[in-house]
Amino acid sequence: MSPTTLTDAPFSLVVDEQGVLKPATSTVERRLSQMKGMYHDAAAEDQLLAGDDPLVYEVFQYDMPEHVGELVVCTTLLYPGRVGDEFFMTKGHYHEQRDRAEVYYGLSGEGQLVVAYEGQHHTVAMGPKTVAYVPPHWAHRTVNTGDEPFVFLAVYHGDAGHDYGSIETEGFPQRVLDRDGSVAIVPQGEL
Ligand code: M6P
Ligand code: ZN
């Protein structure tokens, strides 16, 4: 790609009170029906789907050229809720270009960042003003462990891309559950 196709002027964006990025050039609205099979309690999922198919999260993004030298900015509003005992979470993904890192910055609410790579896994607690780093190669997902929206800003390389298929097949090795009002991080094998 020639340098002339790169962004060549500065600009600014605003994050409003709710966490909506303005302007956004693309948005994602993820309902439970678009995450079928990702929560461990299938009966609880069916029950919610038979009801109002809750909105789990929204992403407001300012798209950029798909080039490693560019940085995409987006905000995620991950709503409070549970499917059975499992807190609302994002689908999670690897980057198509695996060696691209990402930075998250907590704006409001409370959550966990869950990362996984080749059998290893970690969780990072996030709240307002937390800067969390997703290393290159690691699959990543966020979970809302609170009772208000968990809102965070993300910055990642323009050419990173989202690979949902691989982690959907593998599954994240850890789940974040509400156990009698406490946040429990439970290995998938111990459910
Ligand atoms: C963060 C970033 C985005 C991602 C969003 C929702 O804001 O990592 O790139 O799209 O979370 O996560 P997912 O794409 O896994 O549903
Ligand atoms: Zn990412």
Q: Nearest C-alpha to atom 14 of ligand 1 is from which residue? A: 92
pLDDT in tens, 88-143: 999 999 999 999 999 999 999 999 999 999 999 999 999 999 999 999 999 999 99
From 39, 64, 73, 76, give the residue whose CB has the most ligand 1 atoms within 8 Å, as the site to mutate.
76
Task: Kindly indicate the confidence band of residue 72, based on its pLDDT and cuts at 50, 70 and 90.
Answer: very high
Any idea where the domains of the chain sit in the sequence?
14-190
The percent of the chain in helix, strand and coil, each rounded to the nearest 5, is 15, 45, 40
- Which is the closest atom of ligand 1 to the Cα of 164? 15
Please write down the HEC assignment for all residues of 101-143.
CEEEEEEECCEEEEEEECCEEEEEEECCCCEEEECCCCEEEEE
| Sequence-ordered alpha helix ranges (H) in the chain | 42-50, 165-170
Q: Other C-beta atoms within 10 Å of 127: how many?
A: 15
Q: Is 185 left (phi over 0), alpha (psi -120 to 50) or beta?
A: beta
Q: Which CATH architecture has domain 14-190?
A: Sandwich (2.60)
Q: Whose CA is nearest to atom 11 of ligand 1?
A: 76
Rounded average pLDDT over 6-27 = 98
Query: Does the structure show a pLDDT above 50 at 1?
Result: no
State whether the beta carbon of 92 lies less than 6 angstroms from ligand 1: yes
**Which pLDDT score is estimated for 126?**
99
**Is 91 touching ligand 1 by the criterion CB < 6 Å?**
yes
The overall average pLDDT reported for the chain is: 97
Residues 20-32: what's their mean pLDDT?
98
pTM above the 0.75 mark?
yes
Instruction: Measure 13 CA to ligand 2 centroid, in angstroms.
Output: 20
User: Which is more confident, 5 or 110?
Assistant: 110
Q: Which tens digits make up the pLDDT trace of 170-186?
A: 999 999 999 999 999 99
> In a mutational test of the pocket of ligand 1, which residue from 30, 56, 93 has the highest number of ligand atoms less than 8 Å from its CB?
93
